[in-house]
């Protein structure tokens, strides 16, 4: 069945065009995050024409050629029809938008603490007393909160 002449599709439309059940499309979305996109304001996932073509290609690889989803992913990567996760810079941008300053500052604190632990462990003759974890002082917490508020 040919895809209708439009640019955006709902999940039900994609299922109708591709002739698969909605649960199949959802499982393929989990394996191929490139399929479809959630609108910025929320709401149901929308699919572009290239997404529908990719779903048709996946269907052919799985149902006609008998490949697993992993095999289909490898074939699509080999054929250049699919970007690998490392090539998908859009995912990195989304993570930056989703993670707030407070979370980012918390992760920096964790990283700093882990680096301190590595330095302690790298010393010869380390004693158990040196490995005692100490929570950040209230003054450090206030600085982090003030930084986060300043950025907003």
Q: Among the listed ranges 22-26, 68-72, 125-129, which one has the minimum average pLDDT value? A: 125-129
Give me the percent of the chain exceeding a pLDDT of 70: 67
Question: Does residue 52 contact residue 36 with C-beta atoms inside 8 Å?
Answer: no
Q: Where in the chain is the domain with CATH 1.10.1660.10?
A: 8-89
CA pair distance 58, 28, nearest whole angstrom = 8
* Residue found by looking up tokens 């790298």 in the block: 122
CATH 1.10.1660.10 fits 8-89, yes or no: yes
CA–CA distance, 38 with 50 (Å, rounded to integer):
15
Compute the mean pLDDT over every residue in the chain, rounded to the nearest whole number: 77
Summarize pLDDT for 93-109 with one digit per residue, the tens.
444 555 566 777 788 88
DSSP string of 82-143?
S--TTT-HHHHHHHHHHS-HHHHHHHHHHHHHHHHHHHHHHSTT--GGGG---PPPHHHHHH
Band of residue 131 on the pLDDT scale cut at 50, 70, 90: low
pLDDT digits (tens, 9 = 90+) for 25-78: 999 988 888 888 887 777 888 899 989 999 999 999 999 999 898 888 889 888
Whether residue 91 is predicted with pLDDT greater than 60 in this model: the reply is no
* C-alpha dist (Å) from residue 96 to 99, 101, 105: 5, 9, 13
Reading the block at residue 94, the tokens are: 């989304």
Once rounded to an integer, what is the mean pLDDT over residues 120-149?
A: 65
Taking 3-state DSSP, the helix, strand and coil percentages for the chain, each rounded to the nearest 5, stand at: 60, 5, 35
Asked whether residue 134 carries a pLDDT value surpassing 70, the answer given is: no
Best-predicted range by mean pLDDT among 8-22, 81-95, 116-130, 137-151?
Answer: 8-22
């Amino acid at each position: 069945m040919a895809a209708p002449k439009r640019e955006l599709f709902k999940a039900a439309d994609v299922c109708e065009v591709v002739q698969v059940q909605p649960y199949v499309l959802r499982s393929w979305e989990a394996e191929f995050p490139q399929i479809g996109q959630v609108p910025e304001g929320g709401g149901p996932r929308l699919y572009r024409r290239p997404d529908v073509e990719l779903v048709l290609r996946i269907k052919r690889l799985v149902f006609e050629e008998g490949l697993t989803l992993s095999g289909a992913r490898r074939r699509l990567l080999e054929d250049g029809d699919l970007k690998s996760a490392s090539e998908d810079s859009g995912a990195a941008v989304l993570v930056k938008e989703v993670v707030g300053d407070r979370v980012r500052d918390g992760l920096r604190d964790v990283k700093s603490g882990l680096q301190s632990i590595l330095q302690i462990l790298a010393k010869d003759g380390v004693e158990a007393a040196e490995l005692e974890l100490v929570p950040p002082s209230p003054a450090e917490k206030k600085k982090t909160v003030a930084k986060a508020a300043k950025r907003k």
